[in-house]
Structure 1
Amino acid sequence: MSTTSMVKGTAMPAPLPWPGLLALSTAAFTAVVTELLPAGLLPRMAPALGVPEARVGFLVTGYAVASFVAAIPVTALLRGLPRRPVLVGTLLGFALSNAVVALSSSYGLTFTARLVAGVMGGTLWAMLAGYAARMVPAERRGRAIAVVLAGITLALSLGVPAGTALAEVVGWRAAFGLLSGLAVLLVGWVRWRVPGFPGEARGERVPLARVALLPGLPVILSVTLFLLLGHQVLYTYIAPFAEHAGFGRTDVVLLVFGASTVGGIWGTGLLVDRRPRATLLGALALCAAVMLALGRYADVPAVLLVSAALWGVAFGGAPTLIQTALVNASGPAASDVATSLQTTVYNAGIAGGSLTGGVVLEALGAGALPWTALPLVALALTAVALGRRHAFPVARSRA
């Protein structure tokens, strides 16, 4: 692949392979909407499946647990296979799962289909960033990964709300049916515009334990864990915190946060290939400042809304920056296995942060949540500041 083109005698970066990257971004979008859509449809799905609403909520939990459990072993099992067939297989798995959910009247069958979708999700997340990195030259990896991960932001800010609204009009079964159809169409798009790459040759595969200990990987994984722990401590319980702040419109807070993540993704895409370390330090410092402001002025609604906007900008760009650092540290060839480790750590951070926040909320009240999140985010910031050599170097890797 040519990395540059000549324009009037000046070397210019080669254009990004937009059709292929957007296909991967749409895959990310499909996975997130598949995972979270039941959460907005509890009252509609519960009567049809003959269970209480809480058990419909377990359809989201089951997906997350399956993704957590499957990411590492399934990725290790499939790492020798050509990449595009594996990607196509995960998309067909999403299509099948969502079709079963759309047609099933049995809670047990529906739950099983959601477990299958979770396995597909864990497999997909482990390969997306590495796939994007292999489609572009080293100096454009960050931008390519930002494009792919933008699918997550679009799913959270637009896809899940739109899917929930659509279900109000055409029914929840039709919403899952459309998701199934989208996955099938995406298979054609992937086969048309996403290049194929070989799997890892048996003699070249780095053992899982050695991947985990590659220079920089432990630090990057710890940053992932600390950031997600701190984020989820407050984000999971933003409704009681907003009420504590005297602002009962949780939907407005979440809208401000979600819209701001789009700005964070956009800004990160401009900076990730030029100043990744400084940008990540800035994002984490901003997250820490937000937690401090919310802790000091938790009873001021205006502070809550401004903080939610700044929080969204900072957190929106952080996953792309951390993922780019992970791919640079592991190298594209080992990135699928490295990302499977990060997927597991990511989900552990979500679960641990939610649990910690719940304990703090019960024991100390909503006002203590930002103070609990602050030291966790500060640990992530400190790890990045100290990880100058391999994890988050001042000079970007050209590997």
Structure 2
Amino acid sequence: MPQQKLLQPPMLLLAVGGFLAVATEVLPIGLLPLMAEDLGVTESSIGLLVSAYAAVVVFASIPLNAWTSALPRKPLLVGLLAGYGISNVVLCLAQDYSIALTGRVLAGACHALFFAVVFGYATRLAPPGRMGAAVALVNAGNAVAIAVGVPMSTWLGATVGWRWSFGCAAIIALLLAVGAAVVMPAIRGSAVSGGTQLKEALAEPALRRVIVAVVVMMTGQFALYTFITPVLLQSGFTATNVGFALLAYGGAGILGLLLCSRFTDTALRPALLLSLLVMTGCFLAIALLGGAPGWTLAVVIVWGLLYGPVPSYVTTAALSASRDHPDTVAAVHNSTFNIGISAGALVGAQMLLVSDPSGIGFAAAALTLVALAVVFTGARQGFPRKTPK
């Protein structure tokens, strides 16, 4: 298959697909009260729609990739995008909670396999020496979804009803499925069994180090980010302006990705170390600032700016650690990333039982410091001083 320039329709479609996947994941967060009232359940039950989605991703990513490793990639990608469309239609039309939960489980299953296929495509389509840039382009879609997905869904839900949020996502997904059928190049499935691919990938010490680093750093990141709203409220923000701070964080993340994505291919190790060091400082500052909204907002923006490129750094590190089976490595990375998200939410929840919301910053800083040590000691394996080409 001939190499593509980076900004070509196939790569742009993958980036928009990343936006769709992450937007689908976070849609219920901004629609909790509306969905709960309409479906006749509590807001915590609607929150479980997000948890169920994440649980499916954690447990299904690796086995689904193993079972589908021999399938051609193009029809599999088209099918996954269509699956997102169907799952969002189910949510749009759901008249009771059980139907809504079914739609979310289907969406989680699509997500579990989606990024394995997407990053597998990205590594094959990337120009020589530009794999990191290709990963960053896909992650740009993810970053935009995180920044605007919740505010957009909240506005749409309040304006025309929560079902239209899922309806719009379904339309985007189905259009992307048609687009993928037209523009994506054909890639054959692997002749090596999924189980063998997994065994060979996990035999790489470099990949094992990346896995440990990702789980620890994402646990730290999401211990605090999961509870960022109560942290901001404690610092002096109000219910009416806390959304501005969240939007500022998301916008800073996009800016950070745009500014720092160039380092993914040229200086991944020092760039990741710098991000983790600054994030550690930000978490400590949040824990110590207490009721200072102006300073807290400034710290949150710096945090978002430095975290923005981190998913691209660690995804590229994982794919570089075991290059023979990119789809399998991406599936493992997807699972471990979501393990970190779930563990972070658990750590943050436990910290809330014994401290004020800002106190979570101490735990987040400690975890991020451990992740920094794992990366720093990985100069030979996992996070080499010289970026692999």
Is the CA contact (8 Å cut-off) linking 1:206 and 1:334 kept in structure 2? no
For residues 290 and 367 of structure 1, what CA distance do their matches in structure 2 show? 12
Give the counterpart of 1:148 among 131, 138, 154. 138
Matched, 1:327 2:319: yes
Partner of 1:11: none
Q: Write the letter of the residue equivalent to 1:168.
A: A
Equivalent residues of 1:293, 1:303 under 8 A apart: no
Shift of 1:50: 2.6
SS of the residue 2:201 aligns to: helix
Q: For the residues of structure 1 that align with 2:164 and 2:297, how far apart are their CA atoms?
A: 35
Per-residue deviation, 1:206: 3.5
Name the structure 1 match of 2:281: 289
Query: Of 215, 228, 231, which residue of structure 1 is paired with 2:205?
Result: 215
Q: What is the number of equivalent residue pairs in this alignment? A: 387
Q: Give the Cα–Cα distance (whole angstroms) in 2 for the partners of residues 172 and 44 of structure 1.
A: 7
Give the match for residue 59 of structure 2.
69
Does 2:299 align with 1:304?
no
1:97 is matched with: 87
Q: Determine whether 1:344 maps to 2:335.
A: yes
Distance 1:130 1:138 in 2: 15
- Indicate how the Cα distance of structure 1 residues 109 and 283 shifts in structure 2: closer, same or farther if over 3 A, else same: same
Q: Aligned letter for 2:170?
A: S
The answer for the alignment partner of 2:232 in structure 1 is 242
**8 A Cα contact 1:212 1:341, kept in partner:** no
User: 1:384 maps to which residue?
Assistant: 375
Show structure 1 runs of 4+ deviating over 6 A.
Answer: none
Check whether the contact 1:361–1:369 (CA below 8 A) recurs between aligned residues.
yes
Partners in 2 of 1:242 and 1:204 — Cα distance?
45
Corresponding residue SS for 1:51: coil
| C-alpha deviation, 1:240, in angstroms | 2.5
1:272 alignment partner AA = T
* Alignment-mate amino acid for residue 395 of structure 1: K
Q: 1:58 to 1:204 in 2, by over 3 A?
A: closer
CA–CA distance in 2 between the matches of 1:244 and 1:167? 27
**Cα-Cα RMSD:** 1.9
Q: 1:50 to 1:291 in 2, by over 3 A?
A: closer
Amino acid at match of 1:383: V
Taking structure 1 as reference, are residues 203 and 229 closer, same or farther at Cα in structure 2, changes over 3 Å only? closer
Q: Unmatched 5+ residue regions in structure 1?
A: 4-13
Q: Does 1:86 align with 2:50?
A: no
1:1-399 matches, within 5 Å, as 15-202=5-192, 206-248=196-238, 249-331=241-323, 333-398=324-389
TM-score by length of 2: 0.94
Q: Contact 1:291–1:371 (CA<8 Å) still a contact in 2?
A: yes
Shift of 1:24: 0.5
TM-score (normalised: structure 1) = 0.92
Partners of 2:245 and 2:37 in 1: CA distance? 30
Partner secondary structure for residue 91 of structure 1: helix
